[in-house]
Structure 1
């Protein structure tokens, strides 16, 4: 087992030495840092494109419904009612309303 382990470790070290392009972090300007900032830029761009795509997919059907006057009234009523309900729930959650629970036991 020891001989087999030694041979496998030696083979791994040999295969690592064959690679000409080693990734060495040579301080703040090293190749790994350049790749890091390039990946960070790509992830930010990815997050921006995904979020704008989701917003477009959500609002496109609503814009289509707003072109018809009857459905526009319904959509605006639903949006207004939703905003009102959410504002009432949030104000009750943070204690801005005067509503109190009277438990009668």
Structure 2
């Protein structure tokens, strides 16, 4: 309480005549959008840079492309079974 002070005129104000301007709000929204774009592009760069290096060697390129293709195939099969596009059903054998 001592650090903040006891002045009543330093309270946070809402939008209005005495509060921050709407332009400040949209400027902050723009900065958050740029931050999200920067972080996501940095993550994509960090993920795809090692894959790019692996694609330079033909043997590792075949392995990487096989893993990526197999991953897409498995995910597509799971999603199509979850959505109901395919007629997948279990057949239980009772012995």
Which TM-score applies when normalising by structure 2? 0.78
Q: CA deviation at 1:101?
A: 1.6
DSSP 3-state at the match of 1:38: helix
Between Structure 1 and Structure 2, how many residues are aligned? 88
Larger displacement relative to structure 2 (76-85 or 91-100): 91-100
**Counterpart in 1 of 2:16?**
25
Tell me the TM-score normalized by structure 1.
0.71
By percentage of residues, which structure has more helix? Answer: 1
Matched residue, 2:78: 89
Rg larger for: 1
RMSD over equivalenced CA pairs, Å: 2.4
- Could you list the structure 1 runs, at least 4 aligned residues long, displaced by more than 3 angstroms after superposition: none
Provide the rounded CA distance (Å) in 2 between the counterparts of 1:98 and 1:34: 54
Deviates most, 89-98 or 38-47: 89-98
Task: State the 1:35 CA deviation.
Answer: 1.5
Query: Where does structure 1 lack aligned partners over 5 or more consecutive residues?
Result: 1-10
